[in-house]
Amino acid sequence: MTMRTVHDNPNIRIFTEGDIERITNNYSTLIGKGGFGEIFRGVLDDEDDMVAVKRYIRGDLRDEFMEEVRIHAQVTHKNIVKVIGYCIGKKSLMMVTEFISNGNLEYALHNSGISIPLDGTLTAKVADFGLSKSLFGGITRYTENVKGSIDYMDPIYLSAGRVTQKSDIYSFGVVLLELISQKRVKEKGGINLIAAFNQAYANGKGFRGLLDTEIANECNMKILEGIGKLAVECVAIDANKRPNANDVEKRLLMLWAAQHGKEENIIRRLYRRSPPEIISSSSSNKLGNARIFREGELKKVTENYSSHLATGSSYNIYKGTLEDNTLVAVKKYFDRYEAGKEEFCSRVAMVIMSPVVHKNITKLLGICLEANPPTLVYEYAARNLSDILHCKEDFPLELRLKIASKTSRVLEHLHSSRIALRHGDVMPSNILLDDGFVPKVTAFTLSTRFTEDNATRMSMVKGDGNYMDPYYRHTNLVLLKSDVYSFGVVLLELITRKQPAGDCPEKYGLVSEFARVYKMNKSGKAMFDEGIATEENIPVLEEIGKLALHCINLKLSKRPTMKEVAERLKKI
């Protein structure tokens, strides 16, 4: 057999027509037929491996055919049918792929057609890249030659020829509807499946009447309703309202996690791209170094949540004791917490699975996904910086500076290029203190990872307004320097012992008042905490005050980096 390769991919073979005739035994076993042509079963005579040979009806579309080969060859994934080679004959074009023994999803659902093949273990494998488009950077492309199965086609593509990544989301949404209903999108004399699900959702009704009766039992209803809701979002006419592929994956995995206590396995799949050492595969009740708790265990640990420690904007914190008498803080989210399990996995678990290790970061000891909303278990700290600042206890300047310096080092560590994580909620109540007043930064619920441009846009503004970067509040655009602003407010609180109350902190309250006093007097002395404003301490307080003003500068370019902040505090 002739053995050659594509010039840019040595793994793709070029076959002659004679090769294909031998492989298919002169096209003797037809296994599929469609609008494109026919599919034959074959055997590679030098490897004894079964293959599928796809012979196209039109032999004059060589450019389009080679584009399909190129795209298919570039995309490698365990759930994509592997392309082995191709043949450009005098009158025909043929592609050779791995053979899938169990047909396809279309056949499994409706007993005909070619769509999503299933291997011997009924594992899905995606095929047919004939209509694929390379959309670099998520751009939109237009075409005047609309092709594809109309029942699965994005209406925007159908009417305007406009192709985006959300076009695939629409088609996948239709597939989801077929999976849970075992009905075709459009059946002769039957319902329009998309319209029926949309109407049921709009009326606030469940999807039970539309579901496949073979699987629509009480045990499955929660996951089926969840898939139905996701599918309706995928087939939204407005492409901007459709979820992206990453969101779809996570939501489907978490729906599955809600079934039969599969949370641990699903979390590992969600974060399978994390470094191997982060995920412990040797223990079924561990996630990295964090223990997987059951809801019943947490009730026992907290004595049925009887010892309340604190309340946040979306959670309560309770004191608990583990079997070995280790004290813990159990963070339980409110039932009205909108993020739920999906946002927990995409935001909080991102931090859980990230290699952020620092002696001044609160250690996560465990998680409970069985609880709804989810629950986090942290190492215990008796109090936080806010408790100390706003009570009548003595609070020496030396100790305040120590806490500020160590906290700045934590933020510098988070902002480093290796980690590139914005904390997102820097405030005194999120700086815990152990018995030796050593600070431990906590509360990573609003954390955001950054790419090279060091910026990301949030769908909605979250956080305590008193410590929130005005730039973030007004634009929803988050930068690492948003943490710098928040830390600047904490510095002001440390040297004044005043709370930064005010509906608009940059115009009213501590931030604006300190800036006004400093501008008028070239000094912040009038606002320093009298308990530490001794003649000996004034120079130190002035330096901290000037640094704080740089941090809260409304011009981002004028703010220092956290590395610069940490270095300046070290020198004070």
Which range is least confidently modeled, 138-152, 161-175, 269-283, 331-345? 269-283
Q: Do 375 and 384 touch, CB atoms closer than 8 A?
A: no
Length of the chain: 572
Strand partners, 292: 367
Confidence of residue 137 (pLDDT cuts 50, 70, 90): very low
Q: Over the stretch 318-362, which tens digit does the pLDDT of each residue have?
A: 999 999 999 999 988 776 544 444 544 455 555 454 546 789 998
Question: Cα–Cα distance between 523 and 526 in angstroms, integer?
Answer: 8
Q: What are the tokens at 25? A: 């035994």
Q: Is 567 helix (H, G, I), strand (E, B) or coil?
A: helix
Q: Is 266 helix (H, G, I), strand (E, B) or coil?
A: helix
Mutual orientation of helices 245-257 and 165-181 as an angle, nearest 10°? Answer: 30
Q: Over the stretch 532-569, which tens digit does the pLDDT of each residue have?
A: 999 999 999 999 999 999 999 999 999 999 999 999 99
Confidence of residue 287 (pLDDT cuts 50, 70, 90): low
Q: What is the pLDDT, as a whole number, of residue 473?
A: 80
Which range is least confidently modeled, 130-139, 214-223, 306-315, 545-554? 130-139
Question: Cα–Cα distance between 179 and 197 in angstroms, integer?
Answer: 13
Q: What are the tokens at 135? A: 């959309």
Question: Cα–Cα distance between 137 and 135 in angstroms, integer?
Answer: 6
**Residue stretches of the annotated binding site for ATP:** 54
Question: Cα–Cα distance between 75 and 68 in angstroms, integer?
Answer: 11
**At 405, which helix (H) or strand (E)?**
helix 397-415
Q: What DSSP assignment string belongs to 79-141?
A: TBPPEEEEEE-SS-EEEEEE--TT-BHHHHHHS---SSBB-TT--B-B---TT----GGG--E
**31 vs 328, residue with greater confidence:** 328
Q: Which of 168, 353, 180 is nearest to 248 (CA)?
A: 168
User: For 146-173, what is the mean pLDDT?
Assistant: 73
User: For 221-233, what is the mean pLDDT?
Assistant: 89
Confidence of residue 446 (pLDDT cuts 50, 70, 90): low
**At 20, which helix (H) or strand (E)?**
helix 17-23
Question: Cα–Cα distance between 75 and 67 in angstroms, integer?
Answer: 13
Which range is least confidently modeled, 130-139, 142-151, 491-500? 130-139
Which range is least confidently modeled, 33-37, 214-218, 386-390, 477-481? 33-37
Judged against a pLDDT cut of 80, whether residue 144 lies above it is answered with no
Q: Do 449 and 421 touch, CB atoms closer than 8 A?
A: yes
Q: What is the pLDDT, as a whole number, of residue 504?
A: 55
Percentage of the chain modeled with pLDDT above 90: 33
Fold of 385-571: Transferase(Phosphotransferase); domain 1 (1.10.510)
Alpha-carbon torsion angle 346, 349, 355, 360, nearest 10:
120
User: Which one is catalytic: 425, 464, 469, 529?
Assistant: 425
CATH superfamily of 1-130: Phosphorylase Kinase; domain 1 (3.30.200.20)
Which range is least confidently modeled, 11-20, 277-286, 485-494? 277-286
**487 vs 290, residue with greater confidence:** 487
User: For 310-323, what is the mean pLDDT?
Assistant: 86
Q: What is the pLDDT, as a whole number, of residue 139?
A: 44
CA 290 to each of CA 278, 296, 328, 339, 369: distance values in angstroms, whole numbers, following the listed order: 10, 17, 13, 21, 12
Confidence of residue 138 (pLDDT cuts 50, 70, 90): very low
Q: What is the pLDDT, as a whole number, of residue 142?
A: 38
Which range is least confidently modeled, 54-63, 241-250, 267-276? 267-276
Using a 10 angstrom Cβ sphere, with 0-12 exposed, 13-18 middle and 19 or more buried, the burial of residue 264 is middle
User: For 397-423, what is the mean pLDDT?
Assistant: 91
Question: Cα–Cα distance between 428 and 87 in angstroms, integer?
Answer: 68
Question: Cα–Cα distance between 428 and 125 in angstroms, integer?
Answer: 51
Q: Which of 265, 244, 16 is nearest to 135 (CA)?
A: 244
Q: Is 36 helix (H, G, I), strand (E, B) or coil?
A: coil
Judged against a pLDDT cut of 50, whether residue 187 lies above it is answered with yes
At the top level of CATH, the class of 139-243 is mainly alpha
Judged against a pLDDT cut of 50, whether residue 277 lies above it is answered with no
- Tell me the CATH number of domain 274-379, given options 3.30.200.20, 3.40.225.10, 3.30.60.50, 3.40.50.360: 3.30.200.20
Q: What is the pLDDT, as a whole number, of residue 11?
A: 76
CA 528 to each of CA 282, 532, 538, 544, 554: distance values in angstroms, whole numbers, following the listed order: 54, 8, 9, 11, 22
Q: Which of 96, 98, 126 is nearest to 114 (CA)?
A: 126
CATH 3.30.200.20 maps onto the chain at 1-130, 274-379
Task: Tell the residue number behind the tokens 């002659």, with chain if given.
Answer: 16
Percentage of the chain modeled with pLDDT above 70: 69
Q: Over the stretch 463-497, which tens digit does the pLDDT of each residue have?
A: 667 898 988 888 877 789 999 999 999 999 999 99
Sheet with 364-368, edge to edge strand ranges: 286-287, 290-292, 364-368, 375-379, 327-333, 315-321, 308-311
Q: Over the stretch 32-62, which tens digit does the pLDDT of each residue have?
A: 776 677 889 999 866 678 898 988 877 667 7
Is 425 a catalytic site residue?
yes
CATH 1.10.510.10 maps onto the chain at 139-243, 385-571
User: For 74-81, what is the mean pLDDT?
Assistant: 76
Which of the listed ranges 75-84, 249-258, 349-358, 428-437 does the model predict with the highest average pLDDT?
428-437
**475 vs 135, residue with greater confidence:** 475
Which range is least confidently modeled, 112-116, 127-131, 305-309, 311-315? 112-116
Q: Is 26 helix (H, G, I), strand (E, B) or coil?
A: coil
Judged against a pLDDT cut of 90, whether residue 431 lies above it is answered with yes
Q: What is the pLDDT, as a whole number, of residue 401?
A: 98
Question: Cα–Cα distance between 411 and 490 in angstroms, integer?
Answer: 13
**453 vs 41, residue with greater confidence:** 41
The average confidence (pLDDT) of the chain is: 78
Q: What is the pLDDT, as a whole number, of residue 92?
A: 81
Using a 10 angstrom Cβ sphere, with 0-12 exposed, 13-18 middle and 19 or more buried, the burial of residue 335 is exposed
Q: Do 88 and 62 touch, CB atoms closer than 8 A?
A: yes
Confidence of residue 442 (pLDDT cuts 50, 70, 90): confident
Q: Is the pTM of this model over 0.75?
A: no
Q: What is the pLDDT, as a whole number, of residue 275?
A: 32
The sign of the torsion formed by the CA atoms of 427, 429, 431, 436 equals: positive
Q: What are the tokens at 209? A: 């009447």
Judged against a pLDDT cut of 50, whether residue 146 lies above it is answered with no
Q: Do 329 and 381 touch, CB atoms closer than 8 A?
A: yes
Q: Which of 434, 453, 454, 451 is nearest to 442 (CA)?
A: 434
Q: Which of 256, 422, 203, 462 is nearest to 339 (CA)?
A: 462
Task: Tell the residue number behind the tokens 């570039």, with chain if given.
Answer: 74
Over its C-alpha atoms, the chain yields an Rg (Å, rounded) of 30
For 123, phi then psi, to 5°, come to -85, 130
Question: Cα–Cα distance between 472 and 347 in angstroms, integer?
Answer: 18
Look up residue 419 and give its amino acid: I
**Residue stretches of the annotated binding site:** 54
Which range is least confidently modeled, 60-69, 114-123, 168-177, 289-298? 114-123
